Structure 1
Amino acid sequence: MALYVYKFGGTSVGSVERIKAVAEKIKKARDQGDQVVAVVSAMSGETNRLVALAKEIQTQPTEREMDVLLSTGEQVTISLLCMALHELGCSACSYTGAQVRILTDSSHTKARIQEIDDRKIHADLKSGRVVVVAGFQGVDEHGNITTLGRGGSDTTAVALAAAVKADECHIYTDVDGVYTTDPRVEPKARRLDKITFEEMLEMASLGSKVLQIRSVEFAGKYNVALRVLSSFEEGPGTLISYDEESEMEKALVSGIAFNKDEAKLTVTGVPDLPGVASKILGPIADQNIEVDMIVQNIAEDATTDFTFTVHRNDYLRAMAILEKVCSDMGARRVTGDDNIVKVSIVGVGMRSHAGIASTMFKTLAEEGINIRMISTSEIKISVVVDEKYLELAVRSLHKAFGLDKKEQ
């Protein structure tokens, strides 16, 4: 008998018919002798509807009350799923985050899980029931309902899998696994049979939307094997786990991620003095603007050019801040560009193979693609290029690293 945590997102439970299909999938697993804990999101569109209702009443709704409101979406889904299971003759019991006691801190709308009481879950599983838990929510030490923020249901599922020591955590979504890149950009993209936590974490942070970063971090920390599968078609999906070194060395590059939401800003002619980076980035951070890639170049005239990227939504705000910083520091000028993208190659094989960067740069050069910025880590190389070259860059790199070829 295996113990699985199944997580179903909003599209997977977006209608009564889909909830019934989810119930059939769970019953099939139970009939095979497996124990199942199901974590569900609100029905697709429900959270947005609730947010819109709140804003009709209050422009800036109170965070505590928003948590109370938004948590009701999942409460609807857990009850309906249990009803569907009962209709199939499958014993099941639903729990909100507070009922199961997913204890969090008191940071409303972005709470962090502190501990989970797994006694109710194990008691129900032992008695033959399916346990259905509301994702995205918990309760703080004062009894207040909290929510976990974006991707919270994935985080709930992984945390529960760690708490109950599940054999695997299955994330059911509208894609059938993790691909070498986005199939909408490169039709030859291939589903990966497996990928390491490190690679998935990089892919998620670099623009891949399959899994949220936080859930992958949690899975890696507690060594929870994740499997991404489709809710709508059968298949093995993609397994995300720690891998043996021999397996790691098979692939130089596992995937190509990209992020369209980038903008680049440059401050030129900055006096080359200690503390320059702090004076430029400090005011940016004070306005809660996240900085991604950073490049600093020293000129011969004792000045420096300082370039960094931010989210495209923050571009105009960051530009306005830099204009003032530039004036205060006596820098020459501020320039910017919000027609750029970040393209990244990811693979644990980079650690033990030379020449990956040169292959990447040569491939882009042969296509006439100019690299504007470069950033590297042990298992990834990211470049900033003009947005118009996005598809060409992804496709040429996908081919150059043999990602369209079947795994050995």
Structure 2
Amino acid sequence: MALIVQKYGGTSMGSPERIKNVARRIAKWKGEGNQLVVVVSAMSGETNRLIDLAKAIQTSPDPRELDVVISTGEQVSIGLLAMALKELGIPAKSYTGGQVSILTDSTHTKARILDIDDQAIKADLDAGQVIIVAGFQGVDAQGAITTLGRGGSDTTAVALAAALQASECQIYTDVDGVYTTDPRIVPEARRLDSITFEEMLEMASLGSKVLQIRSVEFAGKYKVKLRVLSSLEYLNKQGPGTLITFEENQNMEEPIISGIAFNRDEAKLTVLGVPDRPGIAYQILGPIAEANIDVDMIIQNVGHDGSTDFSFTVNRGEYAKALAILETVKAHVGARAITGDNKICKVSAVGVGMRSHPGVASKMFRALAEEGINLQMISTSEIKISVVLDEKYLELAVRVLHQSFNLNQAA
């Protein structure tokens, strides 16, 4: 008997009929003798509706109370799915994050999971129940409701799979696996049969929307077998999806690059003419970190006249907040000016094959240069190269790189 954790996203739960389809899929797995823990998101569009409702009351909603409001979307989903299963004659029981006791820190709207009490779930599984858990939420040490941030249901599922030592964690979404890039931009994009955790972690961090990055981190840390599947395929035509593995494929014909990731939600800030002295980076980024703003790419130019320019990128949604903070520290750090650009994007080539194949960067830069695309910032690691571009070049850059690395060809 295998213990399987499944996660269904908002699209899968988007209507009563789709919820019934999810129930039928669960019934199939249950009928094969598996124990099942199912994590669900709010119905599609519901979280946005609840956020808009909160903003209609308070322009900048209090984070604690916002968590109380937006967590209700998943509570509706778990109740409806449990009802759908019972209608099929399958014993099911719903749990909110608090009832499972998914303990988190107190960072409202983007809390992190600290511990999971799995005793009640195990007892119900042994009694033959299908367990339905609200994704995206937990409680802190004071009992306050917390949420895990966008895509947090993926993290809930992987964390439960780790705690329960599940055989597999299956992420059902509206795509049938992980693709070489977004098929909406490149119709020739190819579904990958497998991808390494390293590559998936980079893809998730660089803008791929298939899995939340924290869920991939969890899976890698606790060695959770993870598979991405489509919830929209017919039961009798379920494809294999994409398996996220710990082993690199040793096939010599495998492509050097596994995928092209991109992120539109980028903004760049530059502090001009700051003194080129030890500690200046901390004086600039310290207040940014204290405001809980994540910094991505960082570039500091070499100073020749005792001063330097310092640039970094943040999520576009935090651009205004970061810009305001820099204006307050401008005089303190002795900067000449603060500039910003919230119309940029990031495009990245990802692949473990880079480790053993030189020349990837030059090939990437040449392909972009031939299209007249200027690179504003460059960042590299062992298995990825990222570039910052003007946002208007995003789709062209993705198509060009996808073709340059032959990603539309069968592996």
Is TM (by shorter chain) over 0.5?
yes
Name the counterpart of 2:149.
Answer: 149
Name the counterpart of 2:205.
Answer: 205
Decide whether aligned partners of structure 1 residues 272 and 243 sit closer, same or farther in structure 2, where only a CA change above 3 A counts.
same
Name the counterpart of 1:44.
Answer: 44
Greater CA deviation, 229-238 or 98-107?
98-107
Name the counterpart of 2:280.
Answer: 276
CA distance in 1, matches of 2:289, 2:20: 47
Match of 1:402 among 388, 403, 406: 406
Match of 1:354 among 355, 358, 379: 358
CA distance in 1, matches of 2:361, 2:111: 39
CA distance in 1, matches of 2:270, 2:139: 44
Q: Does 1:188 align with 2:192?
A: no
Unpaired stretches in structure 2, ≥5 consecutive residues? none
CA distance in 1, matches of 2:6, 2:143: 27
Residues 293-332 of structure 1: matches in 2 within 5 Å?
293-319=297-323, 321-322=325-326, 325=329, 329=333, 331-332=335-336
Name the counterpart of 1:128.
Answer: 128
Greater CA deviation, 103-112 or 204-213?
103-112
Q: Which amino acid aligns with 1:279?
A: Q
Decide whether aligned partners of structure 1 residues 267 and 49 sit closer, same or farther in structure 2, where only a CA change above 3 A counts.
closer
Decide whether aligned partners of structure 1 residues 319 and 249 sit closer, same or farther in structure 2, where only a CA change above 3 A counts.
farther
Q: Does 1:14 align with 2:6?
A: no
Q: Does 1:79 align with 2:83?
A: no
Name the counterpart of 1:161.
Answer: 161
Name the counterpart of 2:374.
Answer: 370
CA distance in 1, matches of 2:129, 2:358: 53
CA distance in 2, matches of 1:345, 1:364: 12
Name the counterpart of 1:223.
Answer: 223
- SS in structure 2 of the partner of residue 149 of structure 1: coil
Decide whether aligned partners of structure 1 residues 285 and 65 sit closer, same or farther in structure 2, where only a CA change above 3 A counts.
closer
Decide whether aligned partners of structure 1 residues 342 and 26 sit closer, same or farther in structure 2, where only a CA change above 3 A counts.
same
The Cα of 1:249 is off from its aligned counterpart by 9.0
Q: Which amino acid aligns with 1:122?
A: K
The Cα of 1:62 is off from its aligned counterpart by 4.6
Decide whether aligned partners of structure 1 residues 101 and 366 sit closer, same or farther in structure 2, where only a CA change above 3 A counts.
same
8 Å contact from structure 2 (residues 257, 349) kept in 1 = yes
Greater CA deviation, 113-122 or 80-89?
113-122
CA deviation profile, 1:305-326 (whole Å, cap 9, x unmatched): 3222233344455445545655
The Cα of 1:328 is off from its aligned counterpart by 5.3
- SS in structure 2 of the partner of residue 175 of structure 1: coil
CA distance in 1, matches of 2:339, 2:53: 40
CA distance in 2, matches of 1:318, 1:97: 32
CA deviation profile, 1:254-296 (whole Å, cap 9, x unmatched): 1111112222333444332223323333444454443221222
CA distance in 2, matches of 1:277, 1:221: 31
CA deviation profile, 1:30-74 (whole Å, cap 9, x unmatched): 222222111111222323333344444445555444434333322
Decide whether aligned partners of structure 1 residues 342 and 87 sit closer, same or farther in structure 2, where only a CA change above 3 A counts.
same
8 Å contact from structure 1 (residues 226, 241) kept in 2 = yes
Decide whether aligned partners of structure 1 residues 72 and 265 sit closer, same or farther in structure 2, where only a CA change above 3 A counts.
closer
8 Å contact from structure 1 (residues 5, 170) kept in 2 = yes
CA distance in 2, matches of 1:289, 1:106: 16
CA distance in 2, matches of 1:12, 1:81: 11
Percent of pairs identical after alignment? 71
Name the counterpart of 1:259.
Answer: 263
The Cα of 1:192 is off from its aligned counterpart by 0.9
Q: Which amino acid aligns with 1:212?
A: Q
Residues 338-349 of structure 1: matches in 2 within 5 Å?
338-349=342-353
Count of residue correspondences? 407
CA distance in 2, matches of 1:315, 1:126: 50
8 Å contact from structure 2 (residues 186, 399) kept in 1 = yes
8 Å contact from structure 2 (residues 195, 243) kept in 1 = yes
CA distance in 1, matches of 2:53, 2:311: 41
- SS in structure 2 of the partner of residue 180 of structure 1: coil
CA distance in 1, matches of 2:21, 2:309: 57
- SS in structure 2 of the partner of residue 298 of structure 1: coil
Q: Does 1:390 align with 2:394?
A: yes
CA distance in 2, matches of 1:121, 1:406: 43
Greater CA deviation, 86-95 or 375-384?
86-95
8 Å contact from structure 1 (residues 249, 352) kept in 2 = no
The Cα of 1:188 is off from its aligned counterpart by 1.1
Greater CA deviation, 157-166 or 98-107?
98-107
- SS in structure 2 of the partner of residue 293 of structure 1: strand
Decide whether aligned partners of structure 1 residues 289 and 76 sit closer, same or farther in structure 2, where only a CA change above 3 A counts.
closer
Give the TM-score of the pair, scaled to structure 2. Answer: 0.90
The Cα of 1:331 is off from its aligned counterpart by 4.5
The Cα of 1:377 is off from its aligned counterpart by 0.9
8 Å contact from structure 1 (residues 249, 348) kept in 2 = no
- SS in structure 2 of the partner of residue 368 of structure 1: coil
CA distance in 2, matches of 1:71, 1:149: 11
The Cα of 1:237 is off from its aligned counterpart by 1.2
Q: Which amino acid aligns with 1:96?
A: T
CA distance in 2, matches of 1:267, 1:256: 30
Q: Which amino acid aligns with 1:4?
A: I
Give the TM-score of the pair, scaled to structure 1. Answer: 0.91
